[in-house]
Amino acid sequence: MSNVTRKRNFTKRACALCASVFVLGGLAACSSTPVAAPTPYKASTTKGGYGYSSEKISGNTYQVRFKATDKTPADLVQQYALHRAAEIAQQEGFTFLAVQKTNVDKKPVLAREIVATNDKPVVLPNDKQCTMSGCDNVAQPMAGATSNDVVKTQINNIYYTITIEMANSPNELHKNALSVSELLAKPLKPKN
């Protein structure tokens, strides 16, 4: 192999590597930017991630947190935190719980949002190949250009935290006692 060929191969590999790093860097930047959409009921997969997390404070006391975007209805965020509290109480063998303390914080953050535009979609020309036996479409079907754009918008992250106490008798929790089985039986949906 000549030196010229080696240099060309090296240059091609270097360009491919640079392009890969650029694309992966762009994807990483996009994935770290939150999406301006409602947050589903899910466990937080990272520290400070969206979803629920919890911390045991004492034998029968937990702190349950739910982080969501402000696109999630407030009553649904409350339901999510209470539902997670009921799951923890059930796992710990308790049948009742009471909310001892509630805290809500909001912090502004830039997020990605998909917005529709009124532009007409681009119409692509048909690509035909003709021979003596007739004409055929030779291009693969391709989705037309969409009329959506991804823009950055400011939203608020909502941090909803409850401190719960758990027991096996409602009398231990006084009038604030909630049945774990009833909480778990309720569907998770916003109130209208």
Task: Determine which helix (DSSP H) or strand (DSSP E) holds 156, and give its type and residue range.
Answer: strand 148-167
Can you give the residue ranges of every domain in the chain? 1-32, 34-115+151-185
Element (H, E) at 105: strand 96-116
For the chain, the average pLDDT equals 81
Is residue 15 scored above 50 in pLDDT? Answer: no
Residue 135, pLDDT score: 76
Which single residue is written with the structure tokens 């009833």?
Answer: 182
Q: Which helix (H) or strand (E) holds 149?
A: strand 148-167
55 neighbors 21 (Cβ within 8 angstroms): no
Express each pLDDT in 78-129 by its tens digit: 999 999 999 999 999 999 999 999 999 999 999 888 777 666 655 555 666 7
- Among 11-20, 28-37, 100-109, where is mean pLDDT lowest? 11-20
Map tokens 């402000």 to a residue: 70
Amino acid at 3: N
- SS3 helix, strand, coil % of the chain, rounded to 5? 30, 35, 30
The per-residue pLDDT for range 125-184, each reduced to its tens digit, is 566 677 777 777 665 555 554 567 788 889 999 999 999 999 999 999 988 899 999 999
